[in-house]
Every structure is written in structure tokens, then in C-alpha cells.
A and B are shown apart, each in its own frame.
Chain A
Amino acid sequence: MMDNRTDHDPVTGTETTGHNWDGIQELNTPLPRWWLWTFYLTIVWGIGYCIAYPAWPLIDRATTGLLGYSTRAEVEAQIAEVDARNADVAARLASADLATLERDDPAYHYGVAGGAAVFLAHCSQCHGAGAAGALGYPNLLDDDWLWGGTLDAIAATVRHGIRNDTDDDARWSEMPAYGEFLEAEQIAATTEFVLQLSGQAHDSQLAASGAIIFAEECASCHMVSGAGDPETGAPDLTDAIWLYGGDREAITESITNSRFGVMPAWGPRLDEVEIKAVTLYVHQLGGGE
């Protein structure tokens, strides 16, 4: 023990810790004792927390903790709680006749909101998250429907799908590949007539001979006017909407090799509420009839 006075800083009179780095002394300004106790308390709390809650990572999982808490279980409980709360409105939607369901009915709102989730999970892979479709996958926002755009027609399409082998009630039609029956010149003439039908630039001489071929070969499905038929899924050839492209090259390809778009049946995979919900959702995207 050295002289006690040297333990104090001469300027402030504060006690020093006795630590000295290159002539710089460390002063001792004592922390309050309660601070120390608070620190110990946090350690005790931390130990208690590790025991009560999941904390330590093990090889394949973490310690579960005495309270058995898990965020996944909490989410499951919350989902179950929401489902229970919505049970009434879901049952109402399941038994509802969509065509007469009022827009201010809670079941309608439940359907549209839930249908959006169903759509993103099951439909967006082909039709796109915004339902705008892509080449070969119909745009569900526009006012043109191959198989009808009423609520019941949409529900039937969702339930049974299109041109699939798994559902006997699937919508079905098959355009022949005219490359096997017609000469290249005949196909070219028909193409010009289809261009004329949709009001695009065309060769009128070829179109005139194409009109004859069209009346013989195509009008049975696409109608004499070319307006198509939702009963057979025959596209309207007079409008501005083309599933596989509307230019000369794309139309020639369609006539020569035909198209065969398939949609799976969702009846086996979705329940009644989900089918009606996604139907309501699709119907209100801007094209519903």
C-alpha cells in the first residue's frame, strides 16, 4: 500500500483506479450499486428465459423450453381461430348460388378476399399474379371468354378444367390440324380471310378464296361470322384478342398445327368454398359477364 493521496486525481479530486496507460490515469467514478443489481437481475432473467423458452440449438432442433412455446404453434392457433370465426360465412358461401349473391353480402367479400389467395396459390403459375395471362394462357381481365364469363361458367371451368384426361366433365373441343388436309395455298388464303375478319391488313383476293374454305371448314365451330362459340370454346376471330397471337405468322401456325390448351380440373384439389371464392375473385377482375 502506497501513500493514499496519490490515489486521487489532483485536478478533480476523484479517486483513481490505479490503472495507468502511458501516463493516462483511469479515474474511479463508482457506478450506482442498484445498477450492478440490475445487471445481475438481467443475467438471472436470461437464464430463466433460456429454461422457459426455446433457446439452445441442438443437432436437429432447438431446446423446446419448459413453457412449450413455439411461434409455429402460435400461428397455427391463430389460423384456427380465424377459420373458426369465419366458419359461418364460409358455410354461407359454400351453399350460396353465386349468380344471385349480393355484392354487399359478407360471403361475397369473404369469397373475393379468399379467392385472391387461392388464385395466387393455384392459378397464378399459368395465368400470372395479375391474372393477365400470357401467350397460350388466357387473360382473365379482358371481356373475352373462350368458355363463357358468367359466374357459373367460370365455376364450371375451375371445377372440371379444359381438355384434361382426368375429369369426364372437362370442357372439350379439338381443332383439327389443317396442315394434314389443306394445301399450303389454301391455308394462306384462310389466313388472309381471318385477318380480314379481325379488321387487319390483308390480301383481299386471297381472302375471297379463303372465305370459301372458312365457310366449309371453320364456320361449324367459329360460326359463319367468325364470332366463335363459347359452347365449344371456339375463339372469336373478329375481335382484338388473340390467345396465340393475331399476326399472319401466328394464325398460319394455328391453322396448320392447331392448338390444344389444357387446364387441370380443380374440383378434386380445392374444396367447395375455395372454388366459389376463386370464381368470385376472377369474375370481379374486370371481365365478368
Chain B
Amino acid sequence: MSDSEPTALYAAREPIFPRRVSGPFRTLKWWIMGVTLGIYYLTPWIRWDRGPNLPDQAVLIDLAGRRFYFFWIEIWPHELYFVAGLLIMAGVGLFLFTSALGRVWCGYACPQTVWTDLFLLVERWIEGDRNARMRLWKSGWTLRKIRLSLTKWTLWMLISVATGGAWVFYFADAPTLLRDLIALDAAPVAYFTIMILTGTTFVLGGFMREQICIYMCPWPRIQAAMMDEETLTVAYRDWRGEPRSKGTKRRALAERAMASAQAAGPRIGGRSPRIPMPGIEPAAGKPEPARDEPGDCIDCNACVNVCPVGIDIRDGQQLACITCALCIDACDDVMARIGKPRGLIDYLAFSDEKRERAGKSSLSVWRHVLRPRTIAYTTLWSFIGLALLYALFVRPGIDITVAPVRNPQFVVLSDGSIRNAYDVRLRNKHGEDRPFRIQIVGNAALRLDLEGVDATQVPVPADDTARQRVYVIASANTDPALADSTDIRFWVEDIVSGERSYQDSVFNGRTRP
């Protein structure tokens, strides 16, 4: 027990200078970066012809008009369950990927990771690789450092403006908005949004980086709770790498181990099994438990140097690790050079780690990916997806909603007949004006009357909702007039296309005491 005060309650950020690395995972990350950034920047510019009355932007969130356009799909506010369904699918999809492959979202697809990666690319291009950047960091503010920093920040700022700029194009016609933006003629909210998103992109991608993941983002905590012992995640084969050593110490260890091995006699296999990549057959030969000979880790720090969050994966799984797998590429490269099998750092499940320590071979990738939990997630995900698809294809181009007027429930007319009023909304999802016919079918005692309209037809403008007060009248002393309430069904028919839709409601009669 000590009563001395700790050295500091607050710590400055340790600058991180990730080294360039190449390998299959880096290549995969380049591809994902290209595709995701491409989708983000280019989508608003895709055109889609919907006819004269509707916008021709393929993906458009029209907040003022309360429509969401996605290629051939048009979502109205009352169909927000599609969006809710997609969000649920995104959630379940994240459960699926996290339970199977750990924090792959963080490592490959999260915008924070993708933009940080892009900013690092620029940084490396301007200032050079890890060592050059470290030297530059330590040096004073020379003219060269000022020039390089300004160049880097300018490029970052251009990317940030493009990023913030692309966002607003999703909410308005992109070519028109771009012209307005340049002519300083666009809505203030557009400039404001661009400014905020430019600022956040610049700060989050250029300066905050891993601080966002470690201190701000809730996902590391949530996803950590969704992983289990069968989840494949980036890990260090501790049993194989330790004791790590290099230089003369390593030579001394190796000689001592050689001597003891010769004394013990011949044996089969080694402690360095071939670790398969997905799709490649695992090699024969079982790993042996660690002995006192030097481990495969030569303590070259390649894994640490490439890490974008500045951690040492050899310390085990940790909250800061975004599982970007760049350390795997870095270590595989080193292992290849020193003639050892790949996979000292690898996608590894906790259960495999235990198996390997016990001298058994690890399970195949598919045994980790396909298990009841992931299959359950996939089933749920597919079920929601199919339900949404079904709903999407059966929804009619017209729609009716009926709100009975409750104040009063009914009105007695001069001739003793009972009249109920309904506020009816007619939705025309077509790109042209359509006449709709309203009917009540199946109850001869009920008569329909439309406020202000002589016929039973209502013209509904293109892609719009028409409101119509509708009266239903039951003659005196008929069943519906005397019954407490009678079920009725409103039918609406698009006279042009013949599409029909209905909604049920009730008719309130004169309540007898």
C-alpha cells in the first residue's frame, strides 16, 4: 500500500507512424476502400428516369417532399418500416459478422477506418514512410516541414470537402445543387452541413484517428460482448512465438535447445506447423507444445510498426485492436524471409488456440464460420430480407387510409337517417394524375357521399396524397342505423390501372339506451 500520487491522470496522445505493408489483407483493404469510397462519392450522380413528375436521381432522400428514392423503389413516409427493416438487417448482419469474424466491421468497412487509411496514404505519399515521418515529427519547424505539412493538410482538406460535399448531394438533385453551391446560391443548411462534415472528416481522419475508436466509439465494447471462443479474430500464436528473442540471445537459446534435443533423441514434426490460409489444405504434422528453444517471434516489431492504432498484438486481444489484419501481412512477410511458416499472427479462434496448445490441429475456417449461432443469425437476416422483398413487390401503387371522425360519432339528418363522416387519404404513387373511385361494397343499406364532389371519383395528383371527407349514410331504421356499430370496408380503385386497395372501418349507428 502506498499513499503516493500517480504520475498523471491524463496522458498525451502518443503519435503513431504506421509503416507501409503489403500482403493479401492489405490488398483486400485497398479494394474495400476503393469500392466503399466509390459508392459514397459517386452514388448521387447516378441518374434514373422516373418520368416527368419525379426526380431522376437514382438515390435521393427528398426531405421536403418526404420521399426516399432508391433506383426503382420509392418509399413514402408511411412505409418507413422498410427503413426500419433495413436497419434491423444491418444490426443482425453485424451480429453475424461479429460472431463469425470478430470486429471485421472495424477493421475493413468502418468509415473511420477507411478515411483514416486514406489520410494515412496521403501522409505517407507526402512525408514518406514510418522512419521519415518519425524524423520529421522530431525535427523542428524547418521550411521543409512546413511545406510538407501544408501540402498534407491541403490534400486532407480537399478530401474532407469532397466528403462533406458528397453527403449533401444525397438530399437534393446533385447537378443542380453543385451549380448552386458553386454560385453561392444553395440553401444555408447545405453549406452548414458541408462545413461540419468537412471539419469532422479533417479532424477525425487526420488527427483523432485511433482516439475515436478507443475513447469515443461504443462498438468496441458492444462487439467485444458479441464474440465467443469460436470467433475468428486477429491473434498472436503465443505458444509458437514465445520465448521471443533476437540477436545473440536468440543464438544462445537455439544452441542450448539443440543440445538438449540431441540428448533427447529424434522426434517427429516441429513446433512450427503450417497454418493454412482459407481454402488451402492444412499440412500434415501436429504442433508440439512449447519448449525451451527460442520461439518463432524474432521480436522484429514489424507487427507493431504497421499497426494503425499503435498496439502490440502480442499482448493479446485488446480493446484498441480494430482487427485490420495488417500485422498478419507484416508478420507473414517476416516469417517468409526467415524461412518459417506463415501465421504466427493470424485469424485465430480462442478454441483453436487451446487445441493447438494441446497438440491438436485447429478447425477449418468453415467450422468456425458455419455454426448454430451464425446460421441462426443468417436465417433471421434472410427471413427479414425476404419479408421486406415480399412487402416491396406486393405493395400497390395506390393506397387508402380511413380515419373515422369521432366528434361526433354520428349525425342525425332531417329524415332520420344516420350519417358518419370519415377523413380519407388517397395516395397515388404513380408519376401521373389519376382518378380514384371510392366505394363501399357489401352493405346495400349504406350510401356514400363525398364532401364537395358530386360523383364518387376523386382526382389525385401525381405522387401525392389527396384528402377527402367522405360521408356514409344509413337510412332511418335500417340495420346499420340502429346497430351500435357495423363493420364496413372502403375500396379505392385506380380507374386507369384498375388497381384496388381497401381499408376496414366501422359505421356507428344511433345508440339506443
Interface of chain A, main secondary structure: loop
Chain B, residues 200-244, CB within 8 Å of chain A (1/0): the string is: 000000001001000100000000000000000000000000000
What are 28 sample pairs from A and B whose C-beta atoms fall under 8 A apart?
A16-B2, A16-B6, A17-B5, A17-B6, A30-B8, A30-B9, A31-B11, A32-B10, A32-B11, A32-B13, A34-B208, A34-B211, A35-B10, A36-B10, A103-B452, A130-B407, A132-B407, A141-B411, A144-B413, A236-B414, A239-B414, A239-B415, A240-B476, A241-B414, A284-B452, A286-B451, A286-B469, A286-B471
Tell whether, in the assembled complex, residue A28 and residue B9 are in contact, meaning their CB atoms are under 8 Å apart: yes
Which residues in B have some Cβ–Cβ distance to A below 8 Å? 1-13, 208, 211, 215, 405-408, 411-416, 419, 421, 451-452, 469, 471, 476
- Closest 3 pairs between A and B when the two form their complex, measured CB to CB: A130-B407, A240-B416, A30-B11
Contact A15 B414 (CB under 8 A): no
Residues of A within 8 A of B415 (CB): 239-240
B406: A residues at CB distance < 8 A: 130
Please give, as numbers and ranges, the residues of chain A lying within 8 Å of B9 by CB-CB distance.
17, 28, 30-31
- CA separation between A30 and B419, bound complex, in Å? 73
Tell me if A18 and B405 are in contact (CB < 8 A).
no
Given contacts A17-B6, A31-B10, A286-B421, contact A128 B414 (CB under 8 A): no
In the complex, how many angstroms separate the beta carbon of B31 from the nearest chain A beta carbon? 33
Task: State the A residues within 8 Å of B (CB).
Answer: 1-3, 6-7, 15-18, 20, 28, 30-36, 103, 128-130, 132, 139, 141-144, 236, 239-241, 284, 286
B10 touches A33 (CB 8 A): yes
Indicate if the CB atoms of B411 and A284 lie closer than 8 Å: no
- With A34-B13, A130-B405, A239-B414 as known contacts, state yes or no: A18 contacts B4, CB within 8 Å: yes
Residues of A within 8 A of B215 (CB): 31-32, 35
**B residues in contact with A236, CB < 8 Å:** 414
A144 touching B414 in the complex, CB below 8 Å, given contacts A132-B407, A286-B471: yes
- Enumerate chain B residues within 8 angstroms of A35, measured Cβ to Cβ: 10, 215
- In the complex, what distance in Å separates the CA atom of A66 from the CA atom of B138? 46
A240 with B8: CB separation less than 8 A:
no
Beyond contacts A141-B421, A143-B413: 15 other A-B pairs, Cβ-Cβ < 8 A, are A1-B4, A17-B6, A17-B9, A18-B2, A32-B211, A34-B211, A141-B419, A142-B412, A142-B414, A236-B414, A239-B415, A239-B416, A240-B412, A240-B414, A284-B451
Chain B residue nearest in CB terms to A130 = B407
Cβ of B3: which chain A residues have Cβ within 8 Å of it? Answer: 2, 18
B462 to chain A: closest CB distance in Å? Answer: 16
Bound CA–CA A32/B208 (angstroms) = 11
